[in-house]
């Protein structure tokens, strides 16, 4: 089910702590929790139309970022902001990540103005946004497995995990269902200057990550997760009822396309196949985004900003996926593909092909 470096595993109550025991070793640098990211998608206008996507990033005791957007109408399109300033956090209002009860065991991060509350229990998560949870009020119930990576190649962090959840509740007072993720990044707890270490780990590197999660029409849960630098990827595939497959030799087949609204060579791969073991996972990109911010003027994008801030070299797309030779649909699903430093010249250096017009 897993090897020594990555794989599917059951998340435990201990993984909610600041210093999970699974990272308490020399290889992982006795890692401590650095940040929690939550991403979720739901379809409120039918499966074929652009869905709503939500993202919230929380450094343990630092500034949080959040954005709720409607994805672009095509895979090369810019998104439409829905909630940004009304979710933005103020430094002096933050309540850091902490344990708030033992029975039931619960960790949380909160802010009073504007209101957000994220509660992590052993068997579910509760996520609320806006006064009286008027924007968002959802519960997330976990899939059986999370995908854990030790000393990951993707982000400049020590280790991380990604855990899919079924999402249900309300958005703007209307009932929704969807898929959400609880993603956590950890950094070694061995630096002589923690403040400098955190600054170093905030710098992004070049990478590609793809997270495809769904519940098939027959009720089986499915996860395809791939992660790595532009030239080398690891990952895993799991379908309920089958043994998971993991590999550090994942093959990516497809062509990159330059983003039409960028003039700096930023590329996206909208349709591609992942080959892992004897499985082939097909991804079809349908809806685009560029971070979760509200700045659509590409000239104002930050060349060195964080990945959620509409930066140069960043490309993202969501869509549909299936495994094998026969396409099928999911009852509910979320896909998310993100590339960083995805410039045409870097991709060519890594051996990829750029599709020319």
Three-state SS for 72?
Answer: coil
End-to-end Cα spacing for the chain: 43
Residue 263 within a domain:
yes
Domain with 201, as residue range(s), is: 6-349
Check: CB of residue 117 under 8 Å from CB of residue 128.
Answer: yes
Check: CB of residue 236 under 8 Å from CB of residue 8.
Answer: yes
Residue 356 within a domain:
no
Phi, psi of 86 (to 5 degrees): -75, -5
Residue 54 within a domain:
yes
Give the Cα separation of 37 and 145 in Å (integer). Answer: 17
Q: Supply 81's token pair.
A: 């902001």
Residue 355 within a domain:
no
Give the Cα separation of 2 and 12 in Å (integer). Answer: 16
pLDDT number for residue 294: 81
Residue 133 within a domain:
yes
Tell me how crowded residue 85 is: count the other CB atoms within 10 A of its CB: 9
pLDDT number for residue 301: 65
- Residues sharing a CB contact under 8 Å with residue 19, sequence separation 6 or more, in sequence order: 30, 31, 32, 33, 189
Residue 354 within a domain:
no
Q: Is the dihedral of CA 343, 347, 348, 349 positive or negative?
A: positive
pLDDT number for residue 13: 97
Residues of the chain with pLDDT under 50: 307
Residue 1 within a domain:
no
Three-state SS for 132?
Answer: helix
Number of domains in the chain: 1
Kindly report whether the peptide bond that precedes residue 114 is cis, defined as omega within 30 degrees of 0.
yes
Look at the pTM and tell me if it is higher than 0.85: yes
Residue 211 within a domain:
yes
Region of 265 on the Ramachandran plot (φ > 0 left; ψ -120 to 50 alpha; else beta): left
């Amino acid at each position: 089910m897993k090897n020594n470096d990555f794989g599917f595993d059951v998340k435990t109550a201990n993984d909610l702590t600041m210093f999970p025991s699974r990272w308490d070793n020399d290889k992982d640098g006795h890692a401590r929790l650095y940040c929690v990211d939550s991403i979720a998608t739901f379809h409120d206008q039918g499966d074929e139309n652009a869905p709503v996507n939500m993202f919230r990033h929380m450094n343990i005791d630092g500034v949080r970022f959040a954005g709720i957007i409607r994805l672009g109408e095509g895979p090369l399109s810019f998104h439409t902001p829905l909630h940004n300033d009304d979710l933005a956090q103020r430094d002096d209002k933050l309540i850091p990540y902490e344990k708030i009860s033992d029975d039931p065991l619960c960790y949380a991060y909160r802010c009073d103005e504007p209101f957000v509350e994220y509660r992590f229990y052993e068997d579910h998560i509760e996520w609320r946004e806006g006064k009286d949870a008027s924007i968002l009020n959802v519960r997330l119930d976990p899939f059986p497995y999370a995908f854990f990576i030790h000393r990951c190649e993707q982000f400049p962090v020590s280790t991380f995990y990604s855990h899919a959840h079924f999402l249900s509740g309300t958005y703007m007072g209307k009932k929704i269902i969807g898929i959400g993720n609880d993603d956590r990044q950890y950094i070694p707890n061995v630096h002589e200057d923690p403040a400098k270490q955190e600054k170093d780990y905030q710098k992004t590197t070049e990478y590609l990550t793809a997270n495809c999660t769904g519940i098939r029409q027959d009720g089986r849960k499915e996860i395809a997760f791939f992660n790595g630098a532009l030239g080398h990827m690891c990952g895993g595939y799991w379908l309920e009822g089958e043994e998971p497959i993991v590999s550090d030799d994942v093959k990516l087949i497809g062509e990159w396309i330059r983003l039409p609204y960028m003039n700096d060579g930023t590329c996206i791969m909208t349709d591609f196949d992942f080959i892992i073991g004897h499985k082939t996972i097909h991804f079809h990109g349908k809806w685009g985004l560029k971070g979760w911010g509200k700045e659509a003027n590409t000239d104002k994008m930050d060349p060195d900003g964080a990945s959620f801030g509409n930066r140069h070299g960043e490309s993202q797309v969501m869509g549909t996926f299936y495994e094998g030779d026969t396409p099928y649909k999911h009852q509910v699903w979320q896909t998310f593909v993100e590339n960083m430093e995805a410039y045409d010249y870097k991709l060519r250096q890594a051996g990829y092909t750029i599709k020319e017009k």
